[in-house]
Structure 1
């Protein structure tokens, strides 16, 4: 193959450079979070746990109007009030927040076990809703909430914040702009040390990697291949020889689409040489993103015109949280469905459920066949 390519080069005219190796300017793509001009509704936050610092930091930077904070432990709401939005009101009863006519949008950040009734109550109260991920533990329940949102003419979106991580967002935009042609393969590998969860509630999640962590990767693939339906999933998990945590720290997933192969690989007990890589292989171009972690990535775009290396701005945290809420607000202002809608999110969730069931049983699973996650399988 190398000799053949060399022969082709020797037969070309001296003035004709190989375009596939030419350095070109990076295409300007709309990968950054955006907001609707002039629309800043009052927003209420239900649940003021640890991750909400990222939410509120992003919202403060975006100059959103956070009017109320609520948590069953009032001190948690008061802490977030003091840190981010001193003028916001605080509650320990979400019903008081939902009773306010001036609040149009509610961000619900509680754990998934208790979230569906809160989403339902918010929709019934006429609020638009941004749900924390994973959206639901039961696909039928998710579909019911989506139907309720439609009935109430409210928008229900999911905080799949990885979609607005700069490298993921640029990759998606490059594909949607036609720069890669038809996707043949999507291959993602992450090698890092997730043992920081020892001594936290996370270490009690049986499928910590596939469920709580990899949901971002399942969602990215689902959004990227939104026009295709995943056909089959096969997944494995393995405990490392020296791990002390209950959940397995190594996992791999293969997802077959009609014309695209997807592989996901997770090595969560890697204390040295951490690496995060994404590769999109297409008929007209490819894209590679790599770095020591998901927040520090260098992107290279290979096209028929040459090689580009965009210098991306921003970082997953907090840009991803800005992007999720910004997309919901834009959809409200423009009278359309949000791209991170609850309905769109269900396919990625179904793929996640299928992967977990596959890892449990050793079987190939069709996404959608597994409708619910029992507590024991999470």
Structure 2
């Protein structure tokens, strides 16, 4: 861009006026004529959000499975009273009327289930984080391709209204070339103390921040991340094992990205996203990830779209809806497992950097140690 063009597109201070917000397709979308039987494997706590979204969207969940049969029965009774219940996933996968399976188990036991589902001819939506090993993830991606099935990852944050609007704004070029993406989250994650989550050493950078790593990868998908540096901090008063403070800096050729997490914030909680481009910027702010006000700045003025919905359950609706639409339209879903491996490579690099205090090149760290 020439200096003259820059001068013409940058308004003088105080010149921006409030203008109508661009209408962007940020809401979850459903397939037109595809209503497959869906099976749910794993009926833990988060599946309440899955099934709330699926029922509201009119999706046909015909079977539920959990090694603890009572979990599956409880979900069935609450959401799909006519669905069948199994405690062995193999029995669910034998059914010809099930074309899509949603696998929500913990990462360590998920890959064999994904493999079995693909070999049984099912399309798969995997809960996040996808895998603990990038090489294993690549093998599953290759298997899905060999089987002619779609394999997607439930990165539901992409369909949180504020993230989805931002994603569409960047995709449609409203911000021009992106110079910086900066996200900070200040909340209280100590509710996990005493739960299995508290046994994850890098609870914040792995289990939680994967949504934010994925958004960076999604927003900057045309750029290659060069280096990652991260650190974690234990607060002075915390009693649980995982560090509750974390920060990450990611360097691209022409863009910088940063993440900051304060997971022991009792008062003044805040969730903030800022995306700076050479033709505009987008700012999202709220007390949490579900309540956000988006502001778009560009040469036309300042606009604030009136967004509807919330991350929960819209994110889960969007994730399954995109997979179903991709199957119907015979294309790869935007949240494909292949795409998600790039997000995981950022996550793994950040965790290794936090452990070693070294700058790490994304993709070099292939596996996340389970027992770190």
CA distance in 1, matches of 2:105, 2:118: 16
Q: TM-score, normalised by structure 1?
A: 0.95
Report the counterpart of residue 234 of structure 1 in structure 2.
229
Q: 1:18 to 1:73 in 2, by over 3 A?
A: same
CA distance in 1, matches of 2:290, 2:189: 15
Report the counterpart of residue 25 of structure 2 in structure 1.
30
Residue pairs, 1:5-24, within 5 angstroms: 20-24=15-19
1:214 correspondence with 2:209: yes
Deviation, 1:198, is 1.1
CA distance in 1, matches of 2:303, 2:197: 40
Q: TM-score, normalised by structure 2?
A: 0.96
Residue pairs, 1:156-167, within 5 angstroms: 156-167=151-162
1:97 correspondence with 2:88: no
Deviation, 1:54, is 0.3
Report the counterpart of residue 168 of structure 1 in structure 2.
163
Aligned-partner SS, 1:290:
strand
CA displacement 1:5-37 (0-9 Å, x = unmatched) = xxx9xxxxxxx9989511100000000000111
Pick aligned residue for 1:54 from 38, 44, 49: 49
Report the counterpart of residue 351 of structure 1 in structure 2.
346
Judge conservation of contact 2:41–2:104 (CA < 8 Å) in 1.
yes
CA distance in 2, matches of 1:121, 1:338: 21
Report the counterpart of residue 257 of structure 1 in structure 2.
252
CA distance in 1, matches of 2:193, 2:269: 19
Pick aligned residue for 2:296 from 294, 297, 301: 301
CA distance in 2, matches of 1:259, 1:376: 36
Report the counterpart of residue 81 of structure 2 in structure 1.
86
Deviation, 1:242, is 0.8
CA distance in 2, matches of 1:189, 1:20: 29
CA distance in 2, matches of 1:358, 1:323: 32
Tell me which structure has the larger Cα radius of gyration. Answer: 1
CA distance in 1, matches of 2:76, 2:115: 25
Pick aligned residue for 2:363 from 338, 359, 368: 368
Report the counterpart of residue 331 of structure 2 in structure 1.
336
Deviation, 1:38, is 2.0
Residue pairs, 1:266-285, within 5 angstroms: 266-285=261-280
1:323 correspondence with 2:318: yes
Deviation, 1:376, is 2.3
CA distance in 2, matches of 1:20, 1:108: 51
Deviation, 1:101, is 0.6
CA distance in 1, matches of 2:85, 2:188: 37
Judge conservation of contact 1:20–1:307 (CA < 8 Å) in 2.
no
Aligned-partner SS, 2:207:
helix
Judge conservation of contact 1:157–1:340 (CA < 8 Å) in 2.
yes
Report the counterpart of residue 154 of structure 1 in structure 2.
149
1:117 correspondence with 2:112: yes
Deviation, 1:214, is 0.3
Greater than 4 Å deviation, 4+ residue runs = 16-20
Deviation, 1:157, is 0.2
CA displacement 1:59-91 (0-9 Å, x = unmatched) = 000000001000001111000000000010000
CA distance in 2, matches of 1:357, 1:376: 13
Aligned-partner SS, 2:222:
coil
Judge conservation of contact 1:19–1:304 (CA < 8 Å) in 2.
no
Segment of structure 1 superposing worse, 220-229 or 18-27: 18-27
* Cα-Cα RMSD: 1.3
Deviation, 1:229, is 1.2
Report the counterpart of residue 71 of structure 2 in structure 1.
76
CA distance in 1, matches of 2:110, 2:79: 24
Q: 1:19 to 1:101 in 2, by over 3 A?
A: farther
CA distance in 2, matches of 1:177, 1:338: 18
Report the counterpart of residue 186 of structure 1 in structure 2.
181
Q: 1:17 to 1:250 in 2, by over 3 A?
A: closer
Judge conservation of contact 2:16–2:299 (CA < 8 Å) in 1.
no
CA distance in 2, matches of 1:229, 1:77: 42
Deviation, 1:224, is 0.9
Unaligned 5+ segments in structure 1 are 1-7, 9-15
Unaligned 5+ segments in structure 2 are 1-6
